[in-house]
Amino acid sequence: MAHSEKFLLAGVMGWPVMHSRSPALHNFWFAEHRLVGTYVPLAIPPEGLSAALAALPALKFSGCNLTIPHKEAALASMSQLDAASKAIGAVNCVTVLPDGSLAGSNTDGFGFIEAVREEQPAWRVNAGPAVVIGAGGASRSILFAVADRGAPEIRLINRTAARAHALAAEFGKPITAYSWEDRHRALEGAALLVNTTSQGMVGEKPLDLKLDALPNTATVVDIVYVPLKTPLLMAAEQRGNPTVGGLGMLLHQARPAWKSWFGIEPKVTRELRALIEATIPAG
Ligand code: ATR
């Protein structure tokens, strides 16, 4: 694709949005690939979302990302959806097609899998049961990705049991809901543990979970990335578990978006990671 005649545009719509690391990340790739363009934060309140999305083709945007609170509401503005966004019920990436219509996709689950693969290359999805804590939007994308890639068993645990049961019923096999009271025991024999809740985030309490029953070979992932190392990751590391922090998911989910907008598959390099890490308080 010849880009020289076009100023490339993409961005992230959110409310609020100024905390987003996506502009720094995507603008790193513009510079790295020597492309003329920019990626901007777009502060769009919920009532402005459909008009903002509809304006993308006229403004010559290649597409945009969506963050809180727009991921679910955007579904209605898409003329096509990929399998992941359909199953997850949320769109995090919008691509403007040549005819001006909008294609929605969800790359969060891909980002999760790629981050785990990058940081713990020995991990295999079929190594054993996965335990997922939390039943919000982030959980949905991870459940979809892990189930889609062939996890034999997924134990879903949420403080509000009804949400876990509803999600397990909606997704079906191989997901089973466990009660919050059983969370410590549910770690027995697991090969993967993922925290998708806000617990452990700066200003929040650590996730209330005892790791004693977890095999020390299990990979422990926290999708929280502020701080980079949460109390859960520190506890896991201390007992010898391989760990993965939340930043990788953020970095890797952006790769397919870039590919879809600009036809180039960018890389998550050490330099990029260091640039984004420098914007995050140590905790
Ligand atoms: P997201 O879309 O980012 O996943 P969400 O939909 O608000 O956010 O979900 C937040 C998750 O964190 C939920 O699973 C929530 O549990 P509830 O369904 O019981 O609310 C979980 N969570 C939030 N605070 C929690 C706490 N103090 N202890 C345990 N889980 C908590």
Q: State the 10-residue block means of pLDDT for the chain, 283 residues long.
A: 75 96 97 97 98 98 97 97 97 98 98 98 96 96 97 98 97 97 98 97 97 98 96 98 97 98 97 96 70
Q: What's the confidence (pLDDT) of residue 4?
A: 56
Nearest ligand 1 atom to the CA of 163 is 18
Residue minimizing CA distance to atom 22 of ligand 1: 197
Q: In 10 A of CB 36, how many CB atoms? A: 11
Nearest ligand 1 atom to the CA of 159 is 19
Q: What's the confidence (pLDDT) of residue 5?
A: 65
Give the distance (Å) from ligand 1 centre to CA of residue 197.
5
What residues does ligand 1 touch, defined as CB less than 6 Å away?
A: 134-139, 158-160, 163, 196-199
Q: What is the pTM of this model?
A: 0.96
Q: What's the confidence (pLDDT) of residue 283?
A: 60
- Rounded (10°) angle between helices 108-119 and 247-262: 120
Q: What's the confidence (pLDDT) of residue 281?
A: 79
3-state DSSP of the chain: CCCCCCCEEEEEEECCCCCCCHHHHHHHHHHHCCCCEEEEEEECCHHHHHHHHHHCCCCCCCEEEECCCCCCHHHHHCCEECHHHHHHCCCCEEEECCCCCEEEECCHHHHHHHHHHHHCCCCCCCCCCEEEECCCHHHHHHHHHHHHCCCCCEEEECCCHHHHHHHHHHHCCCEEEECHHHCCHHHCCCCEEEECCCCCCCCCCCCCCCCCCCCCCCEEEECCCCCCCCHHHHHHHHCCCCEECCHHHHHHHHHHHHHHHHCCCCCCCHHHHHHHHCCCCCC
Q: Which entry of 71, 173, 210, 229 is annotated as an active-site residue? A: 71
Contacts of 19 (CB under 8 A, 6+ apart): none
The answer to whether 71 is a known catalytic residue is yes
Q: What is the pLDDT of residues 114-131, one digit of tens each?
A: 999 999 999 999 999 999
